Structure 1
Amino acid sequence: MTDLSCVIVDDERLARVELTSLLTEIGGCRIIGESGTARAAIPLIDSLRPDLLFLDINMPGTNGFELLSQLNYCPLVVFVTAYDQYAIKAFEVHALDYLMKPVRSQRLAATLTLVRERLSVRATPLHQLFLPDKDGGGKFLSLENVHLIRTYDHYLRLYHSAGSDMIHQSLSAFAKKLDTTFFQINRSEIVRLEAVQNIGKLSRGRYALTLPGGEVVTVSESRGRVWRKMFD
C-alpha cells in the first residue's frame, strides 16, 4: 500500500505535532510538508502537490478558505479545527472531511480510509480549481468539465457543462499550469481537446472547432501550424 503524501497547515505548532504523531501511529502517511501560515503554505502545496491537505480554518491573516482560493493545485482537503460552526461551509467547498480538535485516533483512521477510497476512484488525479464566492466559501471546479477558456483583459472565463466562471489571471500564466489535454488555439482562447465535436478547415491554414453548445472557435494561422504537427 503506497503511503499518502500529506501537508499540514495550522498556526498552532502543538496541533501540527499532535497530528503528525497520530498519523505516524496509524501509519500509511508521509508528511512531506507543514506550515504555520497560509502565506507560506500556498507555494509549498503548489510545489509538493500532496495527496492530502490537513487544513486549519482560523489562522492569522489568511484563513483556510482563503488559502484554498489561492491554490493552483488543489489536493483532497480535510479541515481540522476547534470550531464546529464552519462545518457546513467546509462541505460546500467539497472538503472530504471535517475533524474537530482534539483529533481522535479512531476518527482520523476513518478519514484516511475515506481518502484512500476517494483516490482509488481516480485513475489519475483530477486537475481542479477552487473558486471563492463573496461569502468566503466557494466551490471546486474540475478542469475535466471545462471545454473553453477565454481571456477578458486580466480575467479568464471558464466555460463548462454547468455554465461559466471567472477567475483573475492572465491566459499565459494559466496556460502553463494546464496539461496536454488543453490546446491554445489563438491569443485569447484555449480549448480542451476531448471537448471538440467537429473540426473544419478554413483558409490560410486555420481551423474551425465546434464545441459543446454549438459554439465555433478558430485556430489561428500560427497555432494551426502547431496543430498540424500534432494531429495531421
Structure 2
Amino acid sequence: MMNKIRALIIDDEELAREVIRSFLEKDDTITIIGECANGFDGFKEINEQKPDLVFLDVMMPKLTGFEMLELLEEPPVVIFSTAHDEFAIRAFEQNAVDYLLKPYSQERFVDALARAKAKLALEGQAGKALTGVVEQSREHSGTLSRVAVRTGSKIQIVPVGKIRYLEAMDDYVKLHTEQGVFLKQDTMKHYDEHLPAEDFIRIHRSYIVRLKEIVRLELLGKDSHVVFLQDGTQLSVSRSGYALLKEALGF
C-alpha cells in the first residue's frame, strides 16, 4: 500500500484553514499532520515533522510565508495561497510553483493538489522552484523594515532600526544589533540595495554601517581610513567608502 502524503496547513485565518482541511479530507491519499496559525509555529512544525506538502499563506502578520521559507534548510513541496497579489502571482508562474488565489474553488484546489503530487514524484525539483520564488520576492521587497534570522531551531525578527552594522562572512552576513549578533546566509549586495539609504552606508566591501553609529573617522595612512563606532568598534573604510562618507557626512 502506498504511503499517504503528509500535509501541513499554515495560515493565520481560521476560515482559510477550515476550507483547506475540508478539501483535503476528501482525498484518501492525504493525511493532515497539523495546522499552524503563524509562520513561527509553521517553521517549528516543518523542522520537527518533515511534512511532504505544505499549504502556506503568503501574507501573515508576524512572519510572512517567504520569510519563513528563507530560513528552512530543506523546504517541502509548497502550495501557496494569497489574496490578490500581482507580483507574487507572477513569481509563482515564472517558477512553476503551485498557488491558490483566494477565494478559490474546490476544482482549482484539486488542480493545484494534482500538480503538487506530480512534483512529489520528481525529487529535487520543488526546492529549485521555491528558491526562485523566494529570490524574486526578496528583489521586489522594497526597503527593508525587518530581518528574519534563525537561532538554532527558533526564528527571531530583528527590526532594521536595531541593526548597528553588517559584516560580510563568506556566504553569510553577520548582523551586529542591539539584541546581539546574528548570522544569516545572505549577500551584502541585498542589504546594500534594500536597507534605508538615508540610514546606512557601505563603507567597505565587508561593512555596511548605520550612520548614527559613527562617532569619528580617522586617517591611518596614505588613503587608509577607519571609522570608530559608539561602542569603540573600529572598521576599515575603502576608497569608495570614504568618498560616500564624505558626501553623507558633508565634509
User: Shorter-chain TM-score category?
Assistant: 0.5 to 0.7
Please, which runs of 5 or more residues in structure 2 have no aligned partner?
143-166, 173-182, 186-251
Moved over 6 A (4+): 124-129
The question of whether the paired residues in 2 share the 8 Å contact of 1:78 and 1:95 is answered with no
CA gap of 1:114–1:102, structure 2 versus 1, over 3 A, is same
The question of whether the paired residues in 2 share the 8 Å contact of 1:58 and 1:81 is answered with yes
Tell me, in whole angstroms, the C-alpha distance in 2 between the residues paired with 1:19 and 1:119.
19
1:135 aligned residue (140, 155, 164): 140
CA displacement 1:62-86 (0-9 Å, x = unmatched)? 1111111111220111111222422
2:184 aligned residue (143, 168, 176): 168
Q: TM-score, normalised by structure 1?
A: 0.53
Tell me, in whole angstroms, the C-alpha distance in 2 between the residues paired with 1:87 and 1:3.
29
Aligned partner of 2:89 in structure 1 is 87
Larger Rg: 2
1:117 and 2:118 correspond = yes
Identity of aligned residues (%): 32
Residue type at the aligned position of 2:184: H
CA gap of 1:67–1:95, structure 2 versus 1, over 3 A, is farther
The question of whether the paired residues in 1 share the 8 Å contact of 2:57 and 2:81 is answered with yes
Aligned CA-pair RMSD: 3.0
Aligned partner of 1:211 in structure 2 is none
Aligned partner of 1:52 in structure 2 is 53
The question of whether the paired residues in 2 share the 8 Å contact of 1:55 and 1:79 is answered with yes
Q: Secondary structure at the match of 1:103?
A: coil
CA gap of 1:43–1:155, structure 2 versus 1, over 3 A, is farther
Tell me, in whole angstroms, the C-alpha distance in 2 between the residues paired with 1:136 and 1:48.
30
Aligned partner of 2:24 in structure 1 is 23
Residue 14 of structure 1, CA deviation:
1.3
Residue type at the aligned position of 2:10: V
1:108 and 2:113 correspond = no
Q: Secondary structure at the match of 1:26?
A: coil
Residue 87 of structure 1, CA deviation:
0.3
CA gap of 1:5–1:155, structure 2 versus 1, over 3 A, is farther
The question of whether the paired residues in 2 share the 8 Å contact of 1:155 and 1:168 is answered with no
The question of whether the paired residues in 1 share the 8 Å contact of 2:79 and 2:116 is answered with no
Residue 110 of structure 1, CA deviation:
1.6
Aligned partner of 1:66 in structure 2 is 67
CA displacement 1:145-172 (0-9 Å, x = unmatched)? xxxxxxx975437xxxxxxxxx825xxx
More deviation, 9-18/24-33: 24-33
CA displacement 1:11-33 (0-9 Å, x = unmatched)? 00111011101110233211112
CA gap of 1:136–1:32, structure 2 versus 1, over 3 A, is farther
Please, which runs of 5 or more residues in structure 1 have no aligned partner?
138-151, 158-166, 170-232
Residue 41 of structure 1, CA deviation:
1.0
Aligned partner of 1:3 in structure 2 is 4
CA displacement 1:88-110 (0-9 Å, x = unmatched)? 12345x46311122232222212
CA gap of 1:53–1:95, structure 2 versus 1, over 3 A, is farther
Q: Secondary structure at the match of 1:168?
A: strand
Tell me, in whole angstroms, the C-alpha distance in 2 between the residues paired with 1:24 and 1:55.
17
Residue 51 of structure 1, CA deviation:
1.1
CA gap of 1:63–1:69, structure 2 versus 1, over 3 A, is same
CA displacement 1:100-144 (0-9 Å, x = unmatched)? 22232222212222122222222x79777846434349xxxxxxx
Tell me, in whole angstroms, the C-alpha distance in 1 between the residues paired with 2:97 and 2:11.
17
Aligned partner of 2:147 in structure 1 is none
